[in-house]
Structures are given as structure tokens and as C-alpha cells.
């Protein structure tokens, strides 16, 4: 319970220098999610790569080096930003479960004196309509995301390598590459074989029982959330979403708070004031605070352009390491900002990211009276 209260505190964005407020202005605003489907500008100018043997198609950002290695023409991608991606393939083996495939990788890479010192998380996913399984590992100076994909003809292994402090920011390009991955004809089954899925004993699948809709005119927004989660309003203009007690999602929180700055007016000024107060609170409440992906974020949709800010941060509180993703979005008239945060223990952060991204995509800022 204490761990849940810690993450609730920070997910809610309790800002000492700002007052909460209801909203009373503006039109609908939304933004592309900063992961998976939100491609950076350079990715929008991507080039197309077709594998000479397996005939799958990748979208490759300009300035990224692509090499083919060995007789199987395995693909190695290297970026100047500091990340690497490898793609290995072999003929599909329906008799091997995802757990079997992961176990073979871990036999080579996981353990004392090897590339990976510990596993941070795992769970099922889908890539290009094919069943897949993702795992996350950390080693000396490197974090590695592994995605194993089962096609009808080919088994694919995607591996993403990046420094731990930059991993979340850089992983967006890897997620986008997976979102735009196109397998060769015949790889996607009309109906995925249930026997493969049955062999995977993942952690409790987050949000697996459908979705509910939250909409309260006082908050000025609506959002969908997993049907098996609970909603709490710890203060008049703060709403918290989290899993029920006894589930893995109990220690995961998504909080949205409306904040009125007492010392600034205008969109940019409000965002700057809220950002400063958030960082001051983190510095006072936690230790070993490290920021990355700390940058301005422009929202441009439905004729509305809002200049916001986002950051990722890791910190230690009561001897546990947490990770938090926060986005600050001003209302069109300034004065008020929405503070949206996802917080969890570092080990759980990536496993629940698909649920978080789905909620983020569903979040709609609404005008007064809408």
C-alpha cells in the first residue's frame, strides 16, 4: 500500500506553487502519442528497405546505417543517436513456444558475466497482425528490448539496444519501426493459432476486460481506461486511474490534474511555471532524480496548436526505483494546464506501456460546455 501511495503522489502532479482549477475555455485538443504511432519528423521522410531473402519491408529513417550480415542477410541498423537494432530470421517452428524462443536467447545472453544482468519485464503483443512477445533486459551500460514475432513462414527476432538513460526516448523510433513493419505475403495467418498463444504464460494482461469511458465537464477532458481498473478523485481537480488491489496494475497509476498557475499567464509561461514546480517537488520528495527526454512538445490537431512539454524521469523513493512520464498541456487561453502523468516501479513501466498509450490516444481535451 505504501508503494501505491508514493506513485499516486507523483502521478497526480501535486504542485506546491499552483492552484487547482476547473476549466472554462477552449476547443477540443488532442495530440499524437509520443510513442509507437508518433513518428519524429525525420521518420516521416523514411526510406523503404526490402529484405532480399525474406521480402519483409522496413521504413528506415534518413541518416541511419543499414547493413546485411552473413548468409541469412541478417539486418543491423545503427543510428547516430546512439541506438542499434538487429533483426534475425529463421524458418517458423510452430513446435517452439515463445517461452522456448526466449529461453534460448537468455541461455546465451542472461546471467553473470553476460550481456544481460537482469530481466525487467515481459508480456505479449502483436506486430503487423502476427502474435509476438516482448521482453526487456538491462546490462552494463545498455538496456535491450527484445520482440519475438511468429509468422506463418518466418520467426522474427527484433532486438533494440540503447543506453538506459536514453532508452525510453529512443525507443519511440523502434516502436515506430515495428508499427510500420510489413511482412511478406503469406506471413499473416487468417486466424492466429490458439495453441501458440496458449503456450505463453505472461503476467496478468493489463486491461484485458474491455474499456470504460471517463467524462466529467468540470475536468475539461474525457478518456478511456481499462474496465478492470478503478478511478479515484483525491482532490477536486485530480483524477487517478490504477489497477485494483491484488493485481499487477495496482502499483501503476495514471493521473491527470488541472493546474492554474498563480504566477504566470499565457500558454508558454504557464507550462514553464508548472514544469519548474514539478521538478522542485521531485527534488524535495525523491533522491537520485534523473531526467531524460525532457523537451518541448507541440500539439497540432483540429485547428488547435498548443505548445506543451514532456519529460521522462527516474527517481528513488523509500529504496525503490520509479519511472514517470509526464506531459504538460496548456489550455488555449493559458492560465490553466493539464498535467498528465504515468508512474510505476521501473520494472513494471514497459509492461504496462501499451495500456498507457491506449489511454493517451483516447484522451480528448474538451471545450467548456461540450
My answer on whether 129 and 277 are in the same domain is no
My answer on whether 153 and 284 are in the same domain is no
280 lies in some domain: yes
Asked if residue 195 has pLDDT above 60, the reply is no
249 lies in some domain: yes
Domain end (from 178, 198, 218):
198
Asked if residue 260 has pLDDT above 70, the reply is yes
My answer on whether 25 and 46 are in the same domain is no
370 lies in some domain: no
165 lies in some domain: yes
In this prediction, residue 340 carries a pLDDT of 92
Which CATH number is 48's domain given? 3.40.1000.10
Determine phi and psi for 201, rounding to 5 degrees: -100, 75
What is the domain range of residue 264? 2-33+203-365
My answer on whether 218 and 359 are in the same domain is yes
pTM given for the model = 0.55
Beta-ladder partners of 85: 77, 160
My answer on whether 86 and 184 are in the same domain is yes
> Average of pLDDT values for 210-234?
89
Which of 87-91, 139-143, 212-216: highest mean pLDDT?
87-91
122 lies in some domain: yes
Domain end (from 198, 215, 232):
198
My answer on whether 270 and 227 are in the same domain is yes
Asked if residue 28 has pLDDT above 60, the reply is no
In this prediction, residue 50 carries a pLDDT of 93
> Average of pLDDT values for 205-212?
62
Question: Rounded to an integer, what distance in angstroms lies between the CA atom of residue 342 and that of residue 323?
Answer: 8
> Average of pLDDT values for 277-297?
89
Total domains in the fold of the chain:
2
Asked if residue 298 has pLDDT above 80, the reply is no
52 lies in some domain: yes
| pLDDT tens string 305-350 | 778 999 988 898 888 888 899 999 888 777 889 999 998 887 778 7
Domain end (from 198, 219, 237):
198
11 lies in some domain: yes
Asked if residue 192 has pLDDT above 60, the reply is no
Q: What percent of the chain has pLDDT over 70?
A: 78
Range scoring the smallest mean pLDDT among 122-131, 206-215, 322-331, 338-347: 206-215
In this prediction, residue 336 carries a pLDDT of 86
56 lies in some domain: yes
In this prediction, residue 94 carries a pLDDT of 87
My answer on whether 256 and 352 are in the same domain is yes
My answer on whether 252 and 160 are in the same domain is no
Amino acid at each position: 500500500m505504501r508503494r501505491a501511495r508514493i506513485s499516486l503522489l507523483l502521478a497526480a502532479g501535486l504542485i506546491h506553487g499552483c492552484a487547482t482549477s476547473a476549466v472554462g475555455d477552449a476547443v477540443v485538443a488532442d495530440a499524437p502519442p509520443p510513442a509507437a504511432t508518433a513518428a519524429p519528423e525525420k521518420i516521416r521522410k523514411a526510406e523503404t528497405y526490402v529484405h532480399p531473402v525474406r521480402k519483409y519491408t522496413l521504413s528506415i529513417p534518413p541518416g541511419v546505417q543499414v547493413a546485411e550480415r552473413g548468409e541469412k542477410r541478417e539486418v543491423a541498423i545503427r543510428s547516430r543517436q546512439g541506438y542499434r537494432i538487429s533483426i534475425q530470421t529463421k524458418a517458423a517452428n510452430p513446435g517452439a513456444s515463445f517461452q522456448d524462443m526466449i529461453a534460448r536467447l537468455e541461455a546465451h545472453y542472461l546471467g553473470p558475466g553476460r550481456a544481460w544482468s537482469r530481466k525487467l519485464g515481459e508480456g505479449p503483443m502483436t506486430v503487423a497482425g502476427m502474435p509476438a512477445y516482448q521482453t526487456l533486459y538491462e546490462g552494463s551500460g545498455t538496456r535491450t528490448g527484445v520482440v519475438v514475432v511468429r509468422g506463418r513462414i518466418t520467426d522474427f527476432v527484433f532486438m533494440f539496444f540503447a543506453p538506459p538513460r536514453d532508452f525510453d526516448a529512443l525507443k519511440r523510433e523502434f516502436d515506430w519501426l515495428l508499427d510500420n513493419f510489413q511482412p511478406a505475403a503469406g506471413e499473416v495467418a487468417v486466424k492466429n493459432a490458439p495453441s501458440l498463444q496458449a503456450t505463453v504464460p505472461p503476467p496478468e494482461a493489463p486491461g484485458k476486460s474491455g474499456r470504460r469511458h471517463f467524462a466529467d465537464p468540470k475536468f475539461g477532458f474525457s478518456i478511456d481506461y481499462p474496465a478492470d481498473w478503478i478511478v479515484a478523485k483525491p482532490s477536486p481537480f485530480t483524477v487517478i486511474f490504477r489497477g485494483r488491489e491484488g493485481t499487477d496494475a495496482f502499483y501503476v497509476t495514471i493521473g491527470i490534474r488541472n493546474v492554474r498557475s498563480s504566477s504566470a499567464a499565457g500558454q508558454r509561461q504557464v507550462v514553464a511555471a508548472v514544469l519548474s514546480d514539478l521538478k522542485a517537488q521531485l527534488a524535495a520528495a525523491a533522491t537520485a532524480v534523473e531526467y531524460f527526454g525532457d523537451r518541448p512538445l507541440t500539439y497540432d490537431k483540429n485547428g488547435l496548436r498548443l505548445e506543451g512539454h514532456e519529460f521522462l524521469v527516474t527517481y528513488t523513493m523509500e529504496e525503490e526505483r520509479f519511472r514517470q512520464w509526464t506531459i504538460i498541456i496548456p489550455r488555449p487561453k493559458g492560465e490553466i494546464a493539464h498535467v498528465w502523468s504515468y508512474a510505476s516501479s521501473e520494472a513494471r513501466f514497459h509492461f504496462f506501456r501499451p495500456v498507457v498509450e491506449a489511454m493517451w490516444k483516447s484522451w480528448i481535451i474538451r471545450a467548456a460546455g461540450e
